Amino acid sequence: MGGAMAARLAEAGHRVRGFDIAPAARDRLVAAGGMAAESPADAAADAAALVVMVHDARQAREVLFGAQGAASALRRGAVVWLACTVAPDDARAIGNELAAQGLDLDLDLVDGPVSGGVTGAQGGSLTVMAGGSARAIDTLAPVFAACATRVFPVGPVGAGSTVKLVNQLLVASHIALTAEALALGARADVDPAMLIEVITASAGNSVQFQKRAPRMAGGDHEPQSTVNIFLKDLGIALDAARSLQFPVPLASAAHQVFTMAAGAGFARQSDTNVLRVYERMGAVDVAAVAAAHAKVS
């Protein structure tokens, strides 16, 4: 997603300098009109805004505060957009550390995880859940405009990550339920294509069903998001619920489904592979059932 967001920023006329540990990702940035940096500090040199889109809080800290960390290279008054999904406590800790490290530079953080996936990043149609000061959010307005169609100021640093974990709890549960529904229908020899058409026009529909069900039924498991990403995000949600002593039985069940998918060898592959868990348990092949019905019709 970070590469797609950088490309959108370059297309919008921003001067973009980016770093990724993968040389191919840096090459794609150059092809999109940006400049490749040799380190996070090089990418952030005298920048007014820094976008951090990595896998988790550990990587975010390394990018910002590591041996070649970006925080030390930012200009006075710069704002960091922490766009990745992390725990609220991690977002607050990173914000505090950034403020302390840049005490003389007046550095600020927007805890702004996004929703919309790779497709949203490529199309500039992400939703941002922005936690931070009004000044910091306003400073990032031109950056947000290139990457997102909706920006919701949701409170102080930490609030963005809290809203995102609630969103991810729902997204992951809907994906698991989509797989469960398709596999159940196929086991009963219901045409998956017909089932998808009916459900998307009925009250059982959801954004995730609409997006994932056709891919699952068609055997399309090209990664857009991975099983591992949802294991991380669900883990954040479960940890937050545990700290609040709040029950989340459905999210816990979804976490188990994703854990089974990871254990079956799909951890780094598309989240649509949660379907394989149900196919193996139910001795059914959804794509094969869909193909058989297509031949008959």
Cα separation of 289 and 294, whole Å? 9
Contact indicator for 32, 10 with CB cutoff of 8 Å = yes
Query: Among 96, 57, 104, which residue's Cα sits nearest to residue 77?
Result: 104
> End-to-end distance of the chain based on CA atoms, in angstroms?
39
Cα 281–255–150 angle (5° rounding)? 125
Residue reference for tokens 């254990």: 263
CA distance 61 to 43: 15
Residues 6 or more apart from 229 whose CB is under 8 A from it? 55, 271
Of 164, 211, 232, 295, which is the active-site residue?
164
How many Cβ atoms sit within 10 Å of the Cβ of residue 189?
10
Task: Give the side-chain half-sphere CA count within 13 A for 205.
Answer: 13
Q: Nearest Cα to 233, choosing from 269, 185, 271?
A: 271
Which residue reads 């998001």 in tokens?
A: 225
Annotated active-site residue 295? The verdict is no
Distance of CA 230 to the CA centre of its chain: 9
- Enzyme catalytic residues: 164
